[in-house]
Structure 1
Amino acid sequence: MKRVNSYSHGGEITRDLASMAFLFILRYATLRELNAPFFISNEEASTNMETVQQAEDDAQYGAAPHLPRLRWTRILAISIFALALNFQWAALGTIILPSQVFKMVGDLDKGTALAFVLIPGAFVSLFSNPLFGWLSDRTRGRLAVWGRRRPYILLGTLASMFCLGWMATAPNVLTLAIAYALTQFVSNAAQAPFHALLPDIVPPEQRGLTSGVISLMLIFGNIGGVLVAGNLINSSLPLASYTQGLWLTYGLIIAVLLVFMLITLIFVRELPVQAHSAEAEQAATGTTRKPWYTLPAMRTLAASLVVALLAWGLITLWNTWRVAGLEISSNFEQVIIEIIITVGILRLFDFRPRRDPDFAWVLATRLIMMLGIYTIQSFLQYYMRDVVHAPHPEQQTTTFLIIVSLTSLLSAFAAGWISDYLGRKRVIYISGALMAVVGVVFVVTQSLQLVIAAGAIFGLGYGAYQSVDWALVADTLPSQKNHARDMGVWNVALSLSQVIAPVLGGPLLDSFARAGHPVLGYQVIFGMSIIYCIAGTITVRFIRGVKG
């Protein structure tokens, strides 16, 4: 008699249950999409079907689709997943990772070690964001029945939850860096398609308003992330108590991601996508779809790798021969190589500044402004410890960020709505000036009270900038057919700023600390943040196609 392998049978049952759960979530989302009285009445649904069909036809034949105006409940549904994403990144970047690194390596090397953890993750984000956006744009066939965005949001979020669990149990800096890089990769599988929902669904006249709502969700995520992490994590506690708070924080992040991912899948209604074959689509549009592995693309990729290898070789020779008695640090070497590869990635995903100058200036503005923001954010907890001498740095950092978030609420929604009428550029001028003022306060004072008060000013500028940033890129996207890819390219600016800010700031802080001048190190890096914010307000002037 044939023996049954019970372990294999159990594995098949588990896989079947997982498949049923996956199909149930997407099937329920689609049924909810076709009959959604929570958002619109049945009469409104039948009225809007003609508009949706026209939008689909326009998109298929290359014209920009006419998008129907959205009710506030649909705008909220499109925006709400941003809360979960920012809950995760605010908790990780501001509280969790700095405290984990400090607990692993101690005080003297914490800046360099933090850069070691952050840089690989940011580098992975450089290519994974446009990659998953590109894949989402090209989703066809049976998978597209569920939409081009929602399958990626589901699978990317589930993978992120697993990787966060790995980060929570990382025993050393190397493992933490690898787990964080993998978290960045799979999270971008959800993030890049989610970002494309704004230009996909929202009409131009409501993008400022929707951008403001997204900013509110980002701010709520900031508040929740730093509030939870700052109160549960305390690096001054014994290791056992610290680990307990750390694991609880990671568990809450996973729960928030799961809940808001399900809300997005169920209530967001994408425009329908026809499951035509590639041949039928080419016959209808009269165009030929080019694969990503075209000869020019391969040449671009190969050239980037060759230049990166040459740069690595030259830096290695420089350090071997000790040219001019100077040695290039490994972190700085990594940034140079990553910038070279970033240029290749941008070219690979059809980023052409001469063809699309407004989009290029939007990327430049975001890169520079986010450098100023991340220079402050990455080292804020260490600043509270080393300069302000706060007894509980995590808690004081949390207090600062909550004040930032609360004042951001005052400016975010209003700035997005006002920018629809007065223009995007004016809002960025004001926001950049406000954030530069905060850098000045950090340079000239060591008072906890003044630093906390400066958080209110920073919040007004940060909220206004975040609000307009989304609307600005939605107004300047170069392609109607590649929203997710182009939004992924836009996010490269964010990822690159996450690479550069800690690499420049971390070794500087450690160098000044070893020389016995830790306060001067913070004054230097916060002085750099002032320059970044001022430069960002200058570059936005060159965006010609957006109302000033």
Structure 2
Amino acid sequence: MSNSSPDTVTITASNPAVKVRLSPGVKRLFGFIVPVNLGIYIVVGAVPGILLPLQIQGIDEANKAANLAIVTGIGAFAAMIVSPIAGLISDRTRSRFGRRTPWILGGAIATGLTLFGMGFANGVVQLVIAWTIMQITLNLMISPLTALLPDRVPSAVRGAFSTLVGIGMMVGILGGQILGASLASDIQAAYLILPGLMIVIIALFVVFCPDTDSRSRVNEKFSFVVFLKTFWVSPRQHPDFFWGFMSRLTLYTGYFIITGYQLYLLQDYIGLGDGAVALVPVLGLVHLVVIVVALAFAGPLSDKIGRRKPIVIGAALLMGISMLAPMIMPTVTGMFVFTAICSLGFGAYMSVDAALMSEVLPSEGTFAKDLGVLNIAATLPQTIGPFLGGAIVVGLGYIGLFPVAIALAIIGALCIAPIKSVR
């Protein structure tokens, strides 16, 4: 596969034995991708995992589950719509700083300002508005950032790059949970410190890992039809992309049904009450350790053996198995077992599936847009998950969440099998 970016080298991705020599630009990209994702996902870990649920609980504790579903569901719906649009805009951007840099930096600054304002919200409606804006600005940054993998990383080392992306994400999420818990008594300070850290890291990244000048690019003439295609990749023309999309959609829905209610599961299903907040970062530490092991092993292994599908299928099934633990053991031990096994599967799935999907993207000229469409499979579950989870909790109680999540994980594994262009 040949990639046009000056930061990449020509390689043969189908030969797992090939030795890839990375240029200085790609090496810097490898060096910065962990801190960049760390900075972003500290925010992602702290806000929806700790700070937002506590804000909602402080407003109306009796209806906290329903209100959390409303706030996060509406925000995730906005993210789902914005993600491919942000990708389309990024793909078509012509500037001396490249296609991605203006949106990555601008999105980081806008997200920081939004979170600062969110710290002063004192009603559910205000939180809905602030969280929705934050989801929009966050995706203006993340959609172009995800395009760096197919844009600038040689195919034969995409598993390793995905591993570093995943490590930055997971360490960031855990760090966010720890910082969020430690700053829980001063939410306004948390909403100032966390995005400030993110903006500094992003600024360093765009300076040391600059994109190539895109002013000479020739884009397809914009039209309403082009805009509508932002949200669509034909399953008939690109069946492998479709099956990968469906795998993410179903697996992530099952995952968010459980993790989206983690704090309330610990409080009410496990019975920890106010002690649940302190256990979240402890579970996060277990999650981090196990997922880093999975990421470090699975991504490079898929590069070495030249196979992605068996690892992705096995990882999805492992996640489904993990959800039996808290269903059978509604205890702290059950939650620790679930966290450890699920993290092992999720880490392997995340790193290898990212590399797999980068090899079935429909067009080199629309990487960010197509990844934005793919990102719907990760953001739509954040819309479906809270509403579906809320309905399940109301009708069946918290224990009803687990069988549904298991079934969705199995479907996610089965969707990988029909993919033909990747082994």
Aligned counterpart in structure 2 of residue 534 of structure 1, from 399, 410, 418: 410
1:270 partner amino acid: D
Work out the CA distance in 2 between the residues paired with 1:147 and 1:441: 48
Which residue of structure 1 lines up, in the alignment, with residue 254 of structure 2? 372
Aligned counterpart in structure 1 of residue 135 of structure 2, from 181, 184, 189: 184
Matched, 1:291 2:222: yes
Which residue of structure 2 lines up, in the alignment, with residue 116 of structure 1? 70
Matched, 1:99 2:54: yes
Q: Relative to structure 1, is the Cα distance of residues 51 and 292 closer, same or farther in structure 2, using a 3 angstrom cutoff?
A: closer
Cα RMSD after superposing both structures: 2.2
What do residues 34-80 of structure 1 show as CA deviations (whole Å, max 9, x unaligned)?
Answer: xxxxxxxxxxxxxxxx9829999xxxxxxxxxx97346443122453
1:363 partner amino acid: F
Alpha-carbon offset, residue 413 of structure 1: 1.9
TM-score (norm 2): 0.91
2:50 partner amino acid: I
Equivalent runs, 1:237-386 vs 2, <5 Å: 242=185, 244=186, 246-273=187-214, 275-276=215-216, 281=218, 289-294=220-225, 347-386=229-268
Which residue of structure 2 lines up, in the alignment, with residue 90 of structure 1? 45
Which residue of structure 2 lines up, in the alignment, with residue 447 of structure 1? 331
Does the 8 Å contact 1:209/1:420 carry over to 2? yes
Does the 8 Å contact 2:231/2:373 carry over to 1? yes
Which residue of structure 2 lines up, in the alignment, with residue 80 of structure 1? 35
Q: Relative to structure 1, is the Cα distance of residues 449 and 292 closer, same or farther in structure 2, using a 3 angstrom cutoff?
A: same
| Percentage identity across paired residues of the two chains | 28
Work out the CA distance in 2 between the residues paired with 1:454 and 1:137: 40
Aligned counterpart in structure 2 of residue 398 of structure 1, from 275, 281, 289: 281
Alpha-carbon offset, residue 128 of structure 1: 1.1
Does the 8 Å contact 2:77/2:380 carry over to 1? yes
Alpha-carbon offset, residue 348 of structure 1: 4.2
Work out the CA distance in 2 between the residues paired with 1:399 and 1:455: 10
What do residues 116-166 of structure 1 show as CA deviations (whole Å, max 9, x unaligned)?
Answer: 1012211111221111111111112xxx11111111111111110111012
Which residue of structure 1 lines up, in the alignment, with residue 355 of structure 2? 471
Equivalent runs, 1:7-26 vs 2, <5 Å: none
Does the 8 Å contact 1:68/1:203 carry over to 2? no
Which residue of structure 1 lines up, in the alignment, with residue 22 of structure 2? 69
Alpha-carbon offset, residue 190 of structure 1: 1.1
What do residues 73-100 of structure 1 show as CA deviations (whole Å, max 9, x unaligned)?
Answer: 4312245322222211121222122222
Structure 1 unmatched runs, 5+: 1-49, 57-66, 234-241, 282-287, 299-344, 513-519
Alpha-carbon offset, residue 501 of structure 1: 0.4
- In structure 2, the residue corresponding to 1:255 is in which secondary structure? helix
Matched, 1:169 2:52: no
Alpha-carbon offset, residue 195 of structure 1: 0.8
- In structure 1, the residue corresponding to 2:176 is in which secondary structure? helix
Work out the CA distance in 1 between the residues paired with 2:265 and 2:80: 28
- In structure 1, the residue corresponding to 2:99 is in which secondary structure? coil
1:399 partner amino acid: V
Does the 8 Å contact 1:83/1:217 carry over to 2? yes
Work out the CA distance in 2 between the residues paired with 1:197 and 1:187: 16
Work out the CA distance in 2 between the residues paired with 1:293 and 1:450: 51
Which residue of structure 2 lines up, in the alignment, with residue 411 of structure 1? 294
Does the 8 Å contact 1:403/1:456 carry over to 2? yes
Q: Relative to structure 1, is the Cα distance of residues 446 and 207 closer, same or farther in structure 2, using a 3 angstrom cutoff?
A: same
2:362 partner amino acid: P
Which residue of structure 2 lines up, in the alignment, with residue 236 of structure 1? none
Q: Relative to structure 1, is the Cα distance of residues 74 and 348 closer, same or farther in structure 2, using a 3 angstrom cutoff?
A: closer
Which residue of structure 2 lines up, in the alignment, with residue 133 of structure 1? 87
What do residues 499-521 of structure 1 show as CA deviations (whole Å, max 9, x unaligned)?
Answer: 00000111332x24xxxxxxx51
Count residues in correspondence. Answer: 407
2:111 partner amino acid: S
Does the 8 Å contact 1:371/1:497 carry over to 2? yes
Work out the CA distance in 2 between the residues paired with 1:204 and 1:365: 21
Alpha-carbon offset, residue 394 of structure 1: 1.3
Matched, 1:488 2:372: yes
Does the 8 Å contact 2:5/2:151 carry over to 1? no
2:220 partner amino acid: R
Which residue of structure 2 lines up, in the alignment, with residue 209 of structure 1? 160
Alpha-carbon offset, residue 407 of structure 1: 0.7
Equivalent runs, 1:144-159 vs 2, <5 Å: 144-159=95-110
- In structure 1, the residue corresponding to 2:415 is in which secondary structure? helix
Alpha-carbon offset, residue 454 of structure 1: 2.8
Alpha-carbon offset, residue 421 of structure 1: 2.9
Matched, 1:428 2:324: no
2:414 partner amino acid: I
2:22 partner amino acid: R
Q: Relative to structure 1, is the Cα distance of residues 488 and 479 closer, same or farther in structure 2, using a 3 angstrom cutoff?
A: same
Q: Relative to structure 1, is the Cα distance of residues 53 and 384 closer, same or farther in structure 2, using a 3 angstrom cutoff?
A: closer
2:142 partner amino acid: Q
Work out the CA distance in 1 between the residues paired with 2:72 and 2:5: 45
- In structure 1, the residue corresponding to 2:271 is in which secondary structure? coil
2:310 partner amino acid: R
Q: Relative to structure 1, is the Cα distance of residues 449 and 54 closer, same or farther in structure 2, using a 3 angstrom cutoff?
A: closer
- In structure 2, the residue corresponding to 1:477 is in which secondary structure? coil
Work out the CA distance in 2 between the residues paired with 1:489 and 1:293: 17
Does the 8 Å contact 2:114/2:130 carry over to 1? yes
- In structure 2, the residue corresponding to 1:52 is in which secondary structure? coil
Q: Relative to structure 1, is the Cα distance of residues 489 and 54 closer, same or farther in structure 2, using a 3 angstrom cutoff?
A: closer
Work out the CA distance in 2 between the residues paired with 1:502 and 1:251: 27
Alpha-carbon offset, residue 431 of structure 1: 1.5
- In structure 2, the residue corresponding to 1:476 is in which secondary structure? coil
2:191 partner amino acid: Y
1:462 partner amino acid: F
Q: Which sits farther off after the overlay, 213-222 or 80-89? A: 80-89
Alpha-carbon offset, residue 289 of structure 1: 2.1
Does the 8 Å contact 2:8/2:152 carry over to 1? no
Does the 8 Å contact 1:227/1:402 carry over to 2? no
- In structure 1, the residue corresponding to 2:285 is in which secondary structure? helix
Q: Relative to structure 1, is the Cα distance of residues 532 and 354 closer, same or farther in structure 2, using a 3 angstrom cutoff?
A: same
Matched, 1:508 2:392: yes
